[in-house]
Chains A and B, each alone.
Chain A
Amino acid sequence: MSQQTLDPTGSRGGEATTSPPRAGRPGGTEPVVRRSWRERRAAWDVRSAPYLYISPFFIVFAIVGAFPLAYTAYVSVHDWSLLGGQGDFVGLQNYRDVWANPYFSKQVVNTLSIFVLSSVPQVIIAVVLAGLLDNQLRGRTWWRMSILLPFVVSPVAVAIIFGSVFGDRYGLLNELLGTVGIGPISWHTDRFASHVAIATMVNWRWTGFNALIFLAAMQAVPRDLYESASLDGASRVRQFLSITLPMIRPTMIFVIITSTIGGLQIFAEPRLFDETTARNGGSDRQFGTITMLVYDFGWQLRDLGRASATAWMLFVLILLIALVNLVLIKRIGSLGADK
């Protein structure tokens, strides 16, 4: 009974009046003392619980997220060897060294090229695929599961599998191209071809996943919009372009931003695709990426200072491109509104 008075927030104080005689009874001191202790404990419980519950995330993030973020900056302005540890403060020298390294600009271009080749077709195909799935299909769940299938394969396994499909001499793809009279393409040595091959791996794994995200957005589009459009005589394709696409723009932004963050960090695919013994992106780094350069500086040249500087430059690049994306999407959106 008395438990009803225990609500320490007092928000339901009114309902505690079911036992008013207690308050006016000074005789029993013992229950009063016990109650106030329990009240205090309960009040503490309410005040501390939220912080207690969110603290694991912030503790882990402090250790593996915030601290490394700041510490990377600290390491990047020092001479810092993998084995010897911290050395002298060198200011921006590591950044200058990385910037001057001929592989840096090459691998930035590679990363951007692979990123564009993977994200642009991926978003387009995913949207079309979602449009196809946004029908009254038989066996809907089955179709949805089937397109998600590649998502369970790790980037490492994807790279191994596609590495053999894109084999230069005996690969499946070159054999197939040979049957239609196209000469073998050197997927591993030609710069552009290698970018296409790596982008294909990324697209294979992620297109279905993104299609499901688009599908979810499409299903939230009010159906009566389509009804009135078709009454006005708009074709399916026309409806897709004029209703569906504008309505799913927020989701579009979400997918483009996340694929930017992921795409610019690409590492496993190009590394496992590489058949040279050094494994840092082909014989002439024709498909080496920025993340591979971070690894190369840090764990092969054992220079953690330069590795950190490279990592920071990658971060800035990611922010820049995310920003460009946002501006671009806004532009496209306002153009659509003008019509």
Chain B
Amino acid sequence: MTRRPGFLVYGLLAAFVIGSAAPFYWSFLLGSHTAQVAAQGVPPLLPGGHFLDNASRVIDTVPFWKAVGNSVLVASVCATSTVIFGTLAGYAFAKLRFRGRSLLLAGVVATMAVPTQLGVVPLFILMSELGWTGTTWSIIVPTLVTAFGVFFMRQYLVDAVPDELIEAARMDGCSQIRVVWHVVGPAARPAAAILWLFTFMATWTDFFWPFIALPADNPTVQVALNQLQSGFFKDYSLVLTGATLATVPLLILFVLTGRQLVAGIMQGAVKG
């Protein structure tokens, strides 16, 4: 049976998409006008020519490039290490037999329910003991590998790698780590790409912990955004330019990889 949709379906979807996109435009619109125009409410609906002026004001007001550098560093290191460790652990849980396996896997899943807020006080104490407060180490280390990453890779690898293939590799004398490198790695690639994207986005957009752990002169992009708007007088053209600038890198990433991202969400959902 074909369920061919009518105009109503397309109309409702289009309305939703416009609602999804409109705040992006609004942000750019106010960012492209001067502070005076932006302060007086709804500007002309066509962008003004002041976006670059505002952008340079953003760069002068907060340590912008440092923030971008930190965010790129933190997000890519965390994403890469989550993929590596998640694949290793996911493979172990999916394919290797060892004592305590199901209990440990249940433990991994259970940790997903523990809120970050609960640990933030001792984490802060720990980081100051280690002397990492204020450095990007304090942001990187807690996200080196996540329960979600382990679980996601495990779910994927259970079906993606046939047991026979692993056995054959073992028969040919492969050590465990070479099995991972030559057999599991290539098979895991699609899921690994999605996990990398997810982790990158999650780390890039994270706020609570970086906000507590990082000082004003060494922020991530989100912490810098927070600084932008902490003045007495709210300069909307400034903060919205900042919001736009902070979103552009992820927007580009999304345009390039949105297809995989959608597939990943849908796949993870069915299995999870």
Q: Chain A: which residue is nearest B175 at the CB level?
A: A45
B261 adjacent to chain A (CB < 8 Å)? yes
Return chain B residues, CB-CB under 8 Å to A105: none
Q: Number of residues in A with C-beta < 8 Å to the partner? A: 112
> Which DSSP category, helix, strand, loop or mixed, fits chain B's interface?
helix
Q: Do A147 and B20 contact each other (CB < 8 Å), given the known contacts A60-B141, A135-B9, A136-B3?
A: yes
Interface residues of A in 41-74 (CB under 8 A from B): 42, 45-47, 49-54, 56-58, 60-61, 63-69, 71-72, 74
Chain B 228-261 interface 0/1 with A at a Cβ cutoff of 8 Å (1 = within): 0110101010011011001100110110001101
Return chain A residues, CB-CB under 8 Å to B236: 164
Q: Chain A: which residue is nearest B108 at the CB level?
A: A57
Q: Do A170 and B42 contact each other (CB < 8 Å), given the known contacts A49-B177, A137-B5, A161-B27?
A: yes
Return chain A residues, CB-CB under 8 Å to B226: 156, 271-272
Which of A95-103, A116-124, A210-218 forms part of the interface with chain B? A210-218
Return chain B residues, CB-CB under 8 Å to A230: 1
Q: Chain B: which residue is nearest A175 at the CB level?
A: B42
* Contacting residue for A314 out of B117, B175, B243, B265, CB 8 A: B117
Contact yes or no, A170 B119, CB < 8 A: no
Q: Chain B: which residue is nearest A135 at the CB level?
A: B5
Contact yes or no, A161 B243, CB < 8 A: yes
Contact yes or no, B17 A147, CB < 8 A: yes
B145 to chain A, nearest CB (A): 5
A156–B225 alpha-carbon span in the complex (Å): 7
Contact yes or no, B225 A69, CB < 8 A: no
A149 adjacent to chain B (CB < 8 Å)? yes
Contact yes or no, B89 A67, CB < 8 A: no
B61 adjacent to chain A (CB < 8 Å)? no
Return chain A residues, CB-CB under 8 Å to B20: 146-147, 149-150, 204, 208
Return chain B residues, CB-CB under 8 Å to A326: none
B188 adjacent to chain A (CB < 8 Å)? no
Contact yes or no, A56 B89, CB < 8 A: yes
Return chain B residues, CB-CB under 8 Å to A52: 88
A209–B20 alpha-carbon span in the complex (Å): 12
Contact yes or no, A220 B262, CB < 8 A: no
Q: Chain B: which residue is nearest A61 at the CB level?
A: B111
- Which of B39, B173, B262 gathers the greatest number of chain A CB atoms within 10 Å? B262
* Contacting residue for B222 out of A156, A265, A315, CB 8 A: A156
* Contacting residue for A160 out of B16, B17, B229, CB 8 A: B229
Contact yes or no, B121 A129, CB < 8 A: no
Contact yes or no, B247 A295, CB < 8 A: no
Q: Chain B: which residue is nearest A76 at the CB level?
A: B121
A291–B115 alpha-carbon span in the complex (Å): 10
Contact yes or no, A132 B9, CB < 8 A: yes
Chain B 27-65 interface 0/1 with A at a Cβ cutoff of 8 Å (1 = within): 100100000000111100000000000000000000000
Contact yes or no, A154 B117, CB < 8 A: no
Given A311-B118, A315-B114, 14 more pairs with CB closer than 8 A: A53-B89, A64-B141, A132-B13, A137-B10, A154-B221, A160-B240, A161-B27, A175-B42, A209-B265, A213-B266, A216-B269, A226-B3, A272-B226, A272-B229
Chain B interfacial positions (CB closer than 8 Å to A) = 1-5, 9-10, 12-13, 16-17, 19-21, 23-24, 26-27, 30, 39-42, 85-86, 88-89, 91-93, 96-98, 101, 104, 108, 111, 113-126, 141-142, 144-145, 147, 150, 167, 170-173, 175-177, 180, 201, 204-208, 212, 221-222, 225-226, 229-230, 232, 234, 236, 239-240, 242-243, 246-247, 250-251, 253-254, 258-259, 261-262, 265-267, 269-270, 272
Cross-chain pairs A/B with CB under 8 angstroms, 25 sampled: A6-B173, A45-B175, A50-B98, A52-B88, A56-B145, A57-B147, A57-B150, A65-B114, A67-B126, A71-B125, A71-B126, A72-B121, A148-B254, A150-B20, A150-B23, A152-B251, A153-B23, A156-B243, A167-B41, A172-B42, A216-B270, A219-B266, A275-B234, A298-B124, A312-B118
